[in-house]
Structure 1
Amino acid sequence: MAEGPTRVASGAAHGRWLTLGKDGRLSLYTLAEGGLFRWTESAVGGPDWDGPHFVPVPGLTHLTVVQGADGYVHFLGRRQRAGADGATAVDVVHAIQYQTGLAFTDWRSLGNPHKDREQGRHIAPPTGATAPDGTVHVFVRGAHGGLMMRREEPSGKWRAWEDLGGAGLDARSAPIALSDGRIEVVSAAQTGVFVWGQSQPGGDFTAPRGFGLHPVPGTLSAVETGPGRPTFFWVDGAGATAAAWRAGNWPLPLGGGPAREAYAVLRAPVDGFDCVVLAGRSPDGGAVLGLGGTENEAGGFWWYPLDRPCQGSPALARDGQGRVVVALLGPDGLPETARQDGAGLALSAWQKM
């Protein structure tokens, strides 16, 4: 049972808030009043869940969940609290869960990229990626509209905040850790799209490259579709439909209606084919699924309304039996899940937590 005052979530998390642990069990995380909730599968493949377990984080306003190749789950939050002088102070916090269903580490403050408290109150929620060597990279849009980053050394020591440049950026960037050891990050901006990347693992980030593309703010997400090659997905501002883009190419339309949030994206085999699965929230608040061949967007993309209203973007993962699982946060603040059941992306009945 929840240890907090209520078991109803206060909002959806961002990022990969449905994760698969090393033991084959899924965990699901949501925002809660004064912290976060965690649910964990009782057994590999479910269908039953234990929880919610309440993790107190006073002042938490936003939560992003990131999982590394090592299976560790990282929690990045924007925290807002009254200081000793009564003025509001904002910082970025970080914690880790090393094993499924077990305790978190202590929450560590990563500070704020701005020394001026007034400027610091205007930072956006953090996003992040964990490189294959386990080092965490945290990205925040600063008060002046550019991208700020803080990252670990391989020794575990955190570097100072770095200013990566850019201007007029959307609130959240879309970073991705690639199998070749590098991190890339893309952000929508008022003037188009900015892309940063490392030339080698652990290296410095390039100056941002600008592209005259027009994603709808708040809809960017990414997945690795080839060795060291990411594909980015968003809602195209001109066509108002989903689009896929790889650097060096024009965006390819995927059809479907516009989404209100960033797509959840998962690469998974479906009926023996290498596919990309998208999950989004339509303008009317309903959850939708999209499916197409990996790096074969021109071959067609298929969309399926799920007839379920949701808060924020749904989440996607494969369970310990390899099935695609869709999770969403209902309007009542309770999560629901459904699993791949049969050919294609046919889903089981929805299960409310």
Structure 2
Amino acid sequence: MRSAPLREDRPVDPSAPAGSGLGRVLGGPWLLTGHDGRLTAYVHVDDAVLRWTEAAPGSRHWSGPEAVPAKGIDHLTVVQGRDRYAHLVGRRVRSRADDWSTVDIVHATQYQTGRPVTQWRSLGNPFKEVRRAVEVGAPQAAVAGDGALYVCVPTGLGGLSLRREDKHGQWEAWRNLPVAGVTDRPAPAALSSGLVEILIPVRTGALHLCQAKPGGDLVPGAEVGVIPLPGSVTALETAAGRLTYYLSDARGAGAFAVRAGQWPVPLGGEPGDGRISALRTALDGVDCTVLAVRGASGTVGLGACTTEGEQAGVWWTDTAMRCAGDPALACDGQGRLAVAAIGADRRLAVARQQDGQGLTLSDWYRI
């Protein structure tokens, strides 16, 4: 890894013109909180994953970016379990002499804040035939309550394949899940009960797969009548054993909150075409859900409502921070909400919740 020296954040002009900054950004940012309360930010760029690490919980001093080599990885996701390990899962493409490409799914782990990331380990591909293997899409992942990693990928024939660790940490074989007509990447999520669920976009809406017991088979559940905009879905546990999916409607009807067996609830706001980030936190002592989106105007928008109280209305505000890509949310080691985004200058910036009533953000600072 290569590392820049420890330094203090620098103020950002939210309306600054576009710049080159980090270069071509392929994914992120992702913002995670470690066991020690420090934040870590990740951004996927050409042939590398860049990583920034907070010097102390709540500090404006960060180290980085450190470059984790990621040659040939064209899609990446970063997920975290209850053990706070960070799992990096990617789709890797390597050239072959016969003009085809070798495509496999790879995985690396960071066990502690600031510690090195392991080497990439190949999880293979659901298909052995190269003509089928190249059609495998972007992986998505979730970490079950026992620490088992679930990795699922859409296939070129409208199917979905899963590979997961068993209770002993050994990888099971790839298996096909009972779904057809898959049109986009799935949205797997883990619950505090130990169960894992997946929301899967299909041609007519979205299909819900769920488990009857931890480690059990994933079987079809309720269907969702909203067709998710590709890449927009985020899952959040909003009550014990219950997930809410936040997504944008592919037909342009806006953002919705979706819970299994219930009607979709419109959220208002003006989301763009990216991922909705969601976080549950206390505001003025009230259990609330905070949403972050790249709005239709290209700026970071924040929404807040009482948890599972979307029908009563979502309060939206435009931060005026122009961004490239989707913002990310986390709670820092001092319990404050933090927002990370790649600014129009192509540099990573962070803003935090200020003391006082409601949700007021500090100025944005480049890290």
Question: Does the alignment reach a TM-score above 0.5?
Answer: yes
Counterpart of 2:15? none
Over residues 44-75 of structure 1, what are the superposed CA-to-partner deviations in whole Å (9 max), with x where a residue is unaligned?
A: 11111100001112101111000000110000
Structure with higher RCO (Cα < 8 A, 6+ apart): 2
Q: Match for residue 296 of structure 1?
A: 309
Once residues 287 and 230 of structure 1 are traced to their aligned partners in structure 2, the CA distance between those partners, rounded to angstroms, is 24
SS in 2 for 1:94: strand
What is the percent sequence identity of the aligned residues?
A: 45
The yes-or-no answer on 1:10 pairing with 2:24 is yes
Cα deviation code 1:295-336 (max 9, x no counterpart): 111121011111112222110000000000000112333110
Whole-Å separation in 2 of the counterparts to 1:89 and 1:332: 35
1:117 Cα offset (Å) = 1.1
| Alpha carbons of structure 1 residues 142 and 327: separation in structure 2 relative to 1, 3 Å | same
Q: Match of 1:17, SS?
A: strand
Q: In 2, Cα distance between the equivalents of 1:334 and 1:2? A: 17
Partner of 2:349: 336
SS of the aligned residue for 2:311 comes to helix
Which secondary structure does the structure 1 equivalent of 2:327 belong to?
strand
Q: Which amino acid aligns with 2:225?
A: G
Which AA in structure 2 matches 1:266? L
- SS in structure 1 of the partner of residue 132 of structure 2: helix
Residue 72 of structure 1, aligned match among 48, 64, 85:
85
1:279 partnered with 2:292? yes
Once residues 216 and 285 of structure 1 are traced to their aligned partners in structure 2, the CA distance between those partners, rounded to angstroms, is 17
* Conserved 8 A contact 2:273-2:296: yes
> How many residues were matched structurally?
351
Give 1:350's aligned residue: 364
2:360 partner amino acid:
A
1:114 alignment partner in structure 2: 127
Q: Give the match for residue 61 of structure 1.
A: 74
Is the Cα contact below 8 Å between 2:104 and 2:125 reproduced in 1? yes
**Relative to structure 2, which stretch is displaced further, 44-53 or 233-242?**
233-242
For structure 1, the residue ranges without an aligned partner over 5 or more in a row are none
Q: Which runs of 4+ in 1 moved over 6 A?
A: none
1:52 is the counterpart of 2:65: yes
* Corresponding position of 2:7: none
Tell me, yes or no, if the aligned pair for 1:34 and 1:56 is still in contact at 8 Å.
yes
* 1:255 maps onto 2:255 in alignment: no
C-alpha distance in 2 between matches for 1:317 and 1:17:
9
SS of the aligned residue for 1:312 comes to coil
The change in CA–CA distance for 1:305 and 1:291 in structure 2 (over 3 A counts) is same
- Residues 188-234 of structure 1 show CA distances to partners (whole Å, capped at 9, x for unaligned) of 22111111011100111113643333332321111001111001111
Q: What is the rounded CA distance, in whole Å, between the counterparts of 1:12 and 1:321 in structure 2?
A: 30
Paired with 2:103 and 2:221, the residues of 1 have a C-alpha distance of 27
Assess if the C-alpha contact under 8 Å between 1:12 and 1:313 holds in 2: no
Structure 1 equivalent of residue 191 of structure 2: 178
Deviates more, 1:295-304 or 1:165-174: 165-174
2:340 paired residue among 327, 336, 339? 327
1:82 equivalent to 2:95? Answer yes
SS for the counterpart of 2:194 is coil
Partner of 1:311, secondary structure, is coil
1:150-169 matched pairs, under 5 angstroms: 150-169=163-182
Alignment of 1:198-237 (within 5 A): 198-207=211-220, 209-237=222-250
Tell me which amino acid in the other structure corresponds to 2:300.
A
The alpha carbon displacement at 1:38 in A equals: 0.3
TM-score of the pair, normalised by structure 2: 0.91
Q: CA deviation at 1:9?
A: 5.1
In the aligned structure 2, how far is the partner of 1:107 from the partner of 1:183? 24
SS in 1 for 2:325: strand
2:202 pairs, out of 189, 192, 201, with 189
Cα RMSD (Å) of the superposition? 1.9
TM-score (normalizing by structure 1): 0.94
What is the alpha-carbon distance in structure 2 between the residues aligned to residue 146 and residue 49 of structure 1?
42
